[in-house]
Structure 1
């Protein structure tokens, strides 16, 4: 039995994909120490892992100026977020709370980038990178090129490398080039999608293990009577805009106007912390509005999913063969939406050009044109065949066992 350290960025879209893997590793005999924040205690402890926490603001990814989602127009913006928002704040805390503990290997979140390398080097253990989005052949914003160095990017570069040099000195590790900071490190890179869905998959070597989304039932999900839906209309549309950017009441009002008179059920997940009271008297009769819905269950009763195109939500929808209308807002969401549209499983809308007519036309197109459903089924099949968290756990344990055998053989040879 190995003792495993798991360190994942404290965000829904990063913690949730890791839960099935952690559960399977524990069921297979591994001991898991999961370092994260208090916010995720319930769902992490349900896996059987030992949780060790460190302080981190619960709303950091919504409000913190460094961490809050943005549109990256240059890779240095994304790299600065990693260094200044995540590595600098989390890696020292992780090393503090696990001080003097021993582990056999590490699983760390890809958003930590070079921070995962620091952990592995300081603990002298092999590492696996957990990639909750697409594996990035280039960092976000790289479409603009790394070569341009105007005043703003020069300031970003200087600020990023100042923090990087300080961290390298603090932990006595080598200073990476700025291009090396966001690279997916680790001996294995676990990607929660399929090779078919992954863009530019031909540029990724066989250290990238594509196992599909980690689909595991949530124990804290609210119950919902799905029988209510088919009693009203034969088709159901589900709307959910994620957990960070779901407080836009103007968008919800636009949905009411665009879909309120259609003969379809519309289920809107507004978010636990969204105050819908100002719109309470405007909710159409074909809408069901709830602060939280068990998404995996909901998607199995959904004909079209209207989403921000977050990687988790998109993958879960496609896993259940659901085509999409996507309104990407920030971060990697445009990349995810573009890939879905490229493969014919949905339509992408420009967030700056939304209107009642645009949204209504897109929804009716996806509802009525069977090609979107057909293409969603093709992607869904690739995701289901990828093996999921059971295959992920098996491959990680097999790889770590081979390392142990090689070390043992080397010691015997050198005696």
Structure 2
């Protein structure tokens, strides 16, 4: 039998729901196993982190937050420069915070560049908790290089890479920035393999898929399906890019007063319900809902296809209409459609007629239900939270035999 000492684990992430939420059940499990977990996070997420039993280590961040998604800009370089700038100013804060209390193991979100630098400085293992799809063998040549060629040729892009390389070199790391970000030493992937493109070409010695780590989410509250609802539809575009009043009005036109249907329309905090006009009687409009609780009772899901929502839809075997808005959402939408459990609609084509047609076809197709059940079973076999914690414990030093 193998036993381990009570370890000090340090987790590092940023103030974004899509990066913090996937890690929470894993952290809760590590705490339950007796480990001490310090979680470096900006103040806005400290309370959520503390609820897992971890100790928040609060640092100041310069990154745009979910409260101001427009602050990210519009050019590709606008999406990557802030992470480096934030890392440069956050690293000294984090080094001071852990001085004299260095961890045995570093866990980190893919966006937390200071974490592997600190692990290198401290001489401890680093494990990435990866919340979305991972690069496969050939990814750089097939996707990254064509996508970044223009950026790397620009003056601003050259300056970014020079600054990044110099920052890493100053801390004794000679890895190229692209590999530093996308090719960790070890990664526990918090999505199901079903969502991963070219899964057969992923390096299994680095990336291990554990599927959904969802927990019971009881602290988020419950939702009750109305007694007279024959079918329930959830519409949610996540927490960040929710300022889409035109899209919500199309949903109202598509499903308002549709016989037998009850619609839960989550509009986020950037849209006033008054902007939507008259709300049909079968629609409840919310700024936020306990998404997993609704999905457990829903018959269909219109989603932006973020990693969290995509796997929650799969875990609850809910047919999906994917309307991707940014980043990995497009790849997730393609994977969901390829699995035969979703339809993908570009935002510009997500009209009332198209949305209604897609939803009704999905829920009436028994083959979609069969495929969803198959994916759900495959996800359950991946192990989820307990498997993630097992993999992390396997990376801890100071193993003793007994």
The verdict on a shared fold, with TM-score over 0.5 as the criterion, is yes
Query: Could you say which residue in structure 2 is the equivalent of 1:30?
Result: 35
1:12 maps to 2:17: yes
- Identify the residue that residue 413 of structure 1 maps to in structure 2: none
The answer to whether the Cα contact below 8 Å between 2:184 and 2:206 also exists between their aligned partners in 1 is no
Question: What CA deviation, in whole Å up to 9, does each residue of 1:243-291 have, x standing for no partner?
Answer: 0011211111111111113121111122245322232x41111111122
Checking the alignment, whether the CA contact within 8 Å between 1:78 and 1:141 is kept in structure 2 is no
Does residue 390 (structure 1) correspond to residue 386 (structure 2)? The answer is yes
Is the Cα contact below 8 Å between 2:11 and 2:106 reproduced in 1? yes
Contact 1:239 1:306 in 2 (8 A): yes
* Conservation of the 8 A alpha-carbon contact between 2:231 and 2:299: yes
Which residues in structure 2 correspond to 1:18-57 (within 5 Å)?
18-56=23-61
Q: Distance in 1 between matches of 2:196 and 2:321?
A: 19
| Aligned residue in 2 for 1:350 | 346
Q: 1:247 to 1:174 in 2, by over 3 A?
A: same
Q: Could you say what secondary structure the match of 2:181 adopts?
A: coil
Could you tell me how far 1:193 is from its partner in structure 2?
A: 2.1
In the alignment, does 2:295 pair up with 1:290?
no
Q: In 2, Cα distance between the equivalents of 1:129 and 1:366?
A: 36
Are 2:203 and 1:207 equivalent residues in the alignment? no
1:317 has 2:313 as partner: yes
1:63 aligns with 2:63: no
2: distance between equivalents of 1:10 and 1:94? 15
Given that 2:11 and 2:39 are in contact with CA atoms closer than 8 Å, whether structure 1 keeps it comes out as yes
Query: CA–CA distance in 1 between the matches of 2:229 and 2:148?
Result: 54
Residue 412 of structure 1 corresponds to none
Higher mean alpha-carbon deviation, 281-290 vs 173-182, is at 173-182
| CA RMSD of superposed structures (Å) | 2.7
1:232 aligned counterpart, secondary structure: coil
Residues 310 and 336 in structure 1, CA contact (< 8 A), matched pair in contact too: yes
User: How far, CA to CA, are the matches of 1:60 and 1:140 in structure 2?
Assistant: 28
Q: 1:332 to 1:26 in 2, by over 3 A?
A: same
| Structure 2 residue matching 1:325: 3-state secondary structure | strand
In structure 2, the gaps of 5 or more residues are 1-5
SS state at 2:172 partner: coil
TM-score calculated relative to the size of structure 2: 0.89
The residue aligned with 1:404 is: 398
Query: Would the aligned equivalents of 1:6 and 1:32 in 2 still touch at CA under 8 Å?
Result: yes
| Maintained 8 Å contact 1:71/1:331 | no
Aligned equivalents of 2:154, 2:39: Cα separation in 1: 37
Deviation of 1:384 (Å): 1.6
Is 2:192 aligned against 1:194? Answer: yes
What CA deviation, in whole Å up to 9, does each residue of 1:343-392 have, x standing for no partner?
A: 11100001122222211211121122222222222222221221111111
**Is contact 2:192-2:311 (8 Å) kept?**
no
